[in-house]
Chain A
Amino acid sequence: MGLRKRYRLRGVGTAVRHITAVDDVSIQMSVGETVAVVGESGCGKSTLAKLITQLETPDAGEMVFDRRPVRVRTRRERLAFSRNVQMVFQDPYGSLTPHFRVGTLVAEPLRIHRLETRPRLVSRVAEVLESVGLDAEIAKRFPHELSGGQRQRVSIARASATRPQLIVCDEPVSALDVSVRSQIVNLLLDLQRDLGLSYLFISHDLALVDHIADVVCVMYLGRIVEQAPAREFFAAPRHPYSRALIASSPVPDPRRRSPAPAVLGAVELGVAPAGCRFRKRCPLAVAICAENDPPLHAVAAGHLVACHRGNEFGVPTAFPEQSV
């Protein structure tokens, strides 16, 4: 609730500046639900992932998990938390300790949380590997001997070994080859169904988000600018930035070539202008956008948008752009 994280930037001879990477972000998730967070580089989505998994400590705000406020001040509290909230990283090459064998990697969460006695560890590791579609034989190998897809399966095996309730997935397939991506997506869908997992799914691939998400949150410069059920989001996006993202995603269909891009310019990192943080790139900006920062407000049930003109675009047919 209202998570906030600021980073200190220190340059030579300049005063200390702060960058607010995540600014007053609130997200609710239900059991078995997938919430996707989309946005461009620097929007704060990866920082949000680290805040939620407690890899970083928020400067403000608090989290409630399983009806209890999250506290990780003691080792015991941190263990209890991490057992239930796990993470899968983007880079399957960098996120596995290179000098560990696969068996050791997968056994590690079980050892840390003392979930298995030593004699049963090997068979449990084999079970976990099988659950992610890997042969138990692979336990003897080192990460560099595996393909990208196999490595990502190992990462997912580690994250799911403790039977967590929530897995934060930070771009879990974007580093993989196109022909392997759908295998991993299918695996994530299977695990969700079998284990009742919730996913916080960070991605920039809107087509993929459309396929797997229940709720979509769009982040821009550290703030959520739109949050809606996935169906509604893709049918009727309200925020101009959301619509620009959708319009810019290249559709794999040459008969639907999109017109010239809707938004010009690029994100200026860390410098949110006064008023609405998107207004300098916004094709619809009006006078009020420079004066007031629009609050995130409901425009329909479960559909929140932070735009002064968000109410004007209620009807799906009002958009000229192609949806993905």
Chain B
Amino acid sequence: MTNDAVAAQSASPTLDVRGLSVAFRRRNGLVRVVRDVDLTLGPGEVLGLVGESGSGKSILARAVLGTLPRQAEVLGGSIAFSGGDLMRMPPSQVRRLRGDRIAIVPQEPMTSLNPSLRIGRQLTEVLEVHRPEIRSKERSVRAVEMLDLVGVTYADERLAQYPHQLSGGLRQRVAIAMALICGRVELLIADEPTTALDVTIQAQILDLFVRLQKSQRMSVLLITHDLGVIAQTAQRVAVMYAGEIVEVADVNDLFASPRHPYTRGLLDSLPRSGRVARKSHLPSIEGSVPSPSAAVRDGCSFADRCAFRIAICDQQAPPLDSAGLGRSVRCHRWADLTAGFARRDALL
């Protein structure tokens, strides 16, 4: 484990999610999309949340933000944020936190920025809401400073522009500036912040994230499906599958020795030169990602795609086991599999 991560965990956490379950109301009953999730995020830590479509990662983020869709219902659990429980706070209080101490950077800033308002107006509006003590002249000064900080060139001219006049990368920088402009962000939630961007722009934005996170001392929850982005940015990683957290580990440990068969399958399936011969079959996980509305099966939710399934996997749902310092795994067989994988990796 890195020193950063150890330090992060010893201090009291910025965000502490306990036993969170969220369900969608459907005509044929409740569909549980987030199931009994525990998640801790220390001060100044970047936690990567990895999952595929329908894994519940975005719903988890929206639960933390208090912006769940109407048909969603929290079945239980708590979300502790700097002492208070977001689940039990009145909505007005959560709203005051949002945009001030908790901020979000969305996937596609074209949809989150208002297309009919100038950039400057949108930036100063955040200050109007959360920092009314700042006088209006200072607000635009601050907006320019913020744009400079996130690497937007010609910042004072940009204030008068509309979102559609900016490129995708610039829009994402503006969205980041908006998230940070109050200057008190403790928790930044970035939901697939670079998925809509080209790789060269993605590299610039990720670099910006890492620098800002250090200079602003904030915690970042980075949600993505891209393991490359996680490896390049996160300190700790939580892997979600079918609404559950299946593995949590320090980023180096996770990529060096994944313990859950799903994590391992994901990492193995990535084409990496040197690991498999060109044009040869890539290792793959059988089957497809379960739809959230499919009935939850007995036992382990990954069992029907797992190459290491045994009888107990169909009978009992595995608990999230502690598997070493700062690691946990939701698998009945992680201990004996780890030994086997270690032998196999030694051969490679």
Tell me whether A182 and B269 are in contact (CB under 8 A). yes
Q: Pull 11 A–B residue pairs with CB atoms less than 8 Å apart, ordered by A.
A: A178-B269, A207-B228, A245-B200, A248-B200, A250-B229, A251-B232, A252-B228, A255-B252, A261-B207, A266-B198, A267-B198
Q: A320–B207 Cα gap in the complex (Å)?
A: 18
A184: shortest Cβ distance to chain B, in Å?
9
Q: Which residues of A contact B284 (CB under 8 A)?
A: 179, 182-183, 186
Interface locus among A20-28, A74-82, A121-129, A144-152: A144-152
Tell me whether A207 and B273 are in contact (CB under 8 A). yes
Q: A266–B52 Cα gap in the complex (Å)?
A: 29
Tell me whether B273 and A234 are in contact (CB under 8 A). yes
Q: Which residues of A contact B198 (CB under 8 A)?
A: 40-41, 204, 266-267
Specify which of A180, A251, A254 lies most central, judged by the most chain B CB atoms within 10 Å of its CB.
A254
Does B159 have its Cβ within 8 Å of any Cβ on chain A?
no
Q: Known contacts A258-B232, A261-B200: does B282 contact A252 (CB below 8 Å)?
A: no
Contact flags A171-211 to B (C-beta < 8 A → 1, else 0): 00000011111110110010000000000000010111011
Tell me whether B199 and A186 are in contact (CB under 8 A). no
Number of A-B contacts defined by CB within 8 Å: 146
Specify which of B203, B231, B284 lies most central, judged by the most chain A CB atoms within 10 Å of its CB.
B203
- Name the 10 nearest CB pairs between A and B, nearest first: A250-B228, A211-B271, A40-B198, A248-B203, A182-B269, A182-B284, A182-B282, A261-B203, A177-B52, A147-B288
* Cβ-closest chain A residue relative to B283: A182
* Residues A136-150 near B (CB distance < 8 A): 147-150
Does A253 have its Cβ within 8 Å of any Cβ on chain B?
yes
* Residues B204-224 near A (CB distance < 8 A): 204, 206-207
Does B136 have its Cβ within 8 Å of any Cβ on chain A?
no
Q: A177–B284 Cα gap in the complex (Å)?
A: 12
Known: A182-B282, A266-B167. 20 other contacts (CB 8 A): A40-B201, A147-B288, A149-B288, A177-B289, A178-B52, A178-B227, A178-B266, A179-B52, A179-B265, A182-B270, A183-B285, A210-B271, A211-B279, A212-B279, A250-B206, A257-B231, A266-B168, A267-B167, A268-B167, A323-B273
- The contact size tier of chain B is 35 or more
B48: shortest Cβ distance to chain A, in Å?
10
B158: shortest Cβ distance to chain A, in Å?
14
Q: Which residues of B contact A245 (CB under 8 A)?
A: 199-200
Size of A's binding interface in residues, CB under 8 A = 49
* Cβ-closest chain A residue relative to B277: A211
Q: Which residues of A contact B289 (CB under 8 A)?
A: 147, 177, 179-180
Does A249 have its Cβ within 8 Å of any Cβ on chain B?
yes
Does A264 have its Cβ within 8 Å of any Cβ on chain B?
yes
Does A247 have its Cβ within 8 Å of any Cβ on chain B?
yes
* Cβ-closest chain B residue relative to A179: B285
B168, B232, B270, B282: the one within 8 Å of A186 (CB): B282
B199, B229, B269: the one within 8 Å of A179 (CB): B269
Contact flags A54-94 to B (C-beta < 8 A → 1, else 0): 00000000000000000000000000000000000000000
B55: shortest Cβ distance to chain A, in Å?
9
A280: shortest Cβ distance to chain B, in Å?
13
B266, B282, B283: the one within 8 Å of A211 (CB): B282
Does B4 have its Cβ within 8 Å of any Cβ on chain A?
no
A201: shortest Cβ distance to chain B, in Å?
12
Q: Which residues of A contact B255 (CB under 8 A)?
A: 252-255
- Helix, strand, loop or mixed for chain A's interface? helix
A300: shortest Cβ distance to chain B, in Å?
19
* Cβ-closest chain A residue relative to B196: A41
Does B312 have its Cβ within 8 Å of any Cβ on chain A?
no
* Cβ-closest chain B residue relative to A323: B273
Q: Which residues of B contact A255 (CB under 8 A)?
A: 252, 255
B265: shortest Cβ distance to chain A, in Å?
6
Contact flags B293-321 to A (C-beta < 8 A → 1, else 0): 00000000000010000000000000000
Q: A245–B199 Cα gap in the complex (Å)?
A: 7
B269: shortest Cβ distance to chain A, in Å?
4
* Cβ-closest chain A residue relative to B151: A264
Tell me whether B279 and A189 are in contact (CB under 8 A). yes
Does A19 have its Cβ within 8 Å of any Cβ on chain B?
no
Q: A268–B227 Cα gap in the complex (Å)?
A: 29
